[in-house]
Structures are given as structure tokens and as C-alpha cells.
Amino acid sequence: MPELVTDRGTLIQEGTDRLARAGVPEPRHQAVRIWAELNQAEQADVLARDLDVDPAGAARYQQAIKRRASGEPLPHVTGWTGFRHLSLRSDRRALIPRPETEGLVELLLQRARRGRVVDIGTGSGCIALSLALEGGFTEVVGIDRSAEALALAGENRELVGGRVELVQGDLCAPLRAGTFDALISNPPYLTAAEYAGLDPSVRDWEPAIALGSGEDGLDATVRLLDQRRDVLRAGGWLALEVDCARAGSAAHLASALGWEDVGIHLDLFGRERYLLARRSNTR
């Protein structure tokens, strides 16, 4: 008996219905996006015309819908995520890149596009690869303490072709003093209580070391501000993503520690999200 073939429209409607029953927001949009990203197709083409789907393709799509309905993040289900101009691989090895972090890259590129730059806590490599491809840096280094995250960053480097050196280490520990013109980081910045209260779609699927940062959420930020000024050359730029609830505290600490031109900048949602500062010529 020949294997049954179904059509894409039916599959997507069935997927939409299942996602809706599971309470997934915008179920139709997500059902279409899952199909498009699994098959490397444009969403407009998916909606424009129907086609027959072989049993293997149908089963793969249905399994992806099942995973999304169970609460698994969409980028993990499809294996893809977008960041600025890049399409990158995404899975449980690293934090899913957020739209807010794109703004951090933009702010640094407005101030520094040459020389050497280091991305601390590179994760999927989204920041480092964006800087390598959009800036004119002579060297881009990405550091992460997670070997799994670095493996994912390496896959993305091969995918998009950015020239980024990947190094395993804790924050700036592997770096020599005075070697970089800019340092950028989206460090973990949630308090222990905030991490415990995260939605399961984040807490259960994304790495804890990329999210929580001590009881007050400032452990990694304090270490970057206090212990690692010597990594930058005099006048070099520091760009950090911070929690909006603690942006003022981070800026006050930066000023007290001798950073110059300290400023807090808003993200695309109007929240205090980015701290930029320059290393003093004297401290």
C-alpha cells in the first residue's frame, strides 16, 4: 500500500489548532514560521500556495509542533534564530539572542569600529559575529566559560563566515592587560529570586549560567566594572547590557570606580538597558 501524502495547508492548520489548544500565542503565525524555518522557505511563499508533503516531511513538522506545544522555545524547535543581519543556529547550549541585545551592538559600533574588541560571555556568538561582519575591527575575540556554548558559537562562525577567535575562560581571565580597544558583554544579570520566578519557557530551556548572577543580580557586572579595567587601553569603550531595575546602580558604581563618560541608554522598549563608559587615561 503506498504511503499517504498530505498537503501543506492541512498540516499547518492542524499545527495551528494544536498550538492554540496549548495556549501558544499567535498560533497561526508560529505554525507557519515553524514550517518555513524547518524547510528554509520564505513565510510569504508558504502562505501563497499549497503543495503536497511526503510522510517524512509531515512527520518532521508534526514533531516540531508537538515540541512547541510542550513549551520548548521556538528557536530551539526550528534550530534557527535571527540577530541583526544574521540567521544563526540556536539550541540549549546558549542563551537565545534577544532583540534588545541588538541595540547594544549598535551603540558600540557608533563609538568604536576599529582596533581590537572582545565579547565577554559570547554564548551563541551573535554579538562577536555581528561586530566582525559589520565593523572594521582587526581582531574580534569571543570568550565564554561554557565549552558547549563555544561549540555552538563555532558552528555559527562557520555558518556566517565571521573572523572571530573563540576562547574558553571566566569573564576576562584569559586576557592580557591593555590589549583591547573595546569590550562588550551581555552578562547574566538576574537575581536569584528573579531567576526562580522566570517563565518555564526560559528557566527550563536556557542555561542558568547565562541568566543568574548572585543574590543581587550584579555579580558579573561588578566584576566586569571593577576587576577588568586593565583589559582595555586608556580611552577604550565598555558596553554592557544591564537589568533595567539596576541600571542606575551599575552606572553609579562605574563612576565611583573611575570610569569616564558613563551613560545609560534605552532599549527599543524604552527601558534603561545599556551602560556605556570609557576607561580613564589615569585609572
Which CATH number fits the domain that encloses residue 229? 3.40.50.150
pLDDT for the residue numbered 176: 85
Got the DSSP string for 180-234? Answer: EEEEEE----B-HHHHHTS-HHHHTTS-GGGTB-SSSS-HHHHHHHHT-GGGEEE
Q: Are 136 and 113 in contact (CB under 8 A)?
A: yes
User: Is residue 46 situated within a structural domain?
Assistant: yes
Cell readout for 69 is: 506545544
User: Is residue 283 situated within a structural domain?
Assistant: no
User: Is residue 1 situated within a structural domain?
Assistant: no
Structural domain boundaries, residue 249: 83-278
Does residue 62 share a domain with residue 124?
no
Measured distance CA(82)–CA(256) in Å, rounded: 37
Cell readout for 109 is: 559600533
pLDDT for the residue numbered 16: 95
pLDDT tens, residue order, the chain (283 aa): 345 558 888 899 999 999 999 999 999 999 999 999 998 878 777 776 777 888 888 899 999 999 999 999 999 999 999 999 999 999 999 999 999 999 999 999 999 999 999 999 999 999 999 999 999 999 999 999 999 999 999 999 999 998 999 999 999 888 888 889 999 999 999 999 999 999 888 999 999 999 999 888 899 999 999 866 689 999 999 999 999 999 999 999 999 999 999 999 999 899 999 999 999 876 6
How many CA atoms, within 13 angstroms, populate the side-chain half-sphere of residue 115? 18
- Measuring CA to CA, which residue among 252, 251, 229 is closest to residue 242? 251
User: Is residue 166 situated within a structural domain?
Assistant: yes
Cell readout for 115 is: 582596533
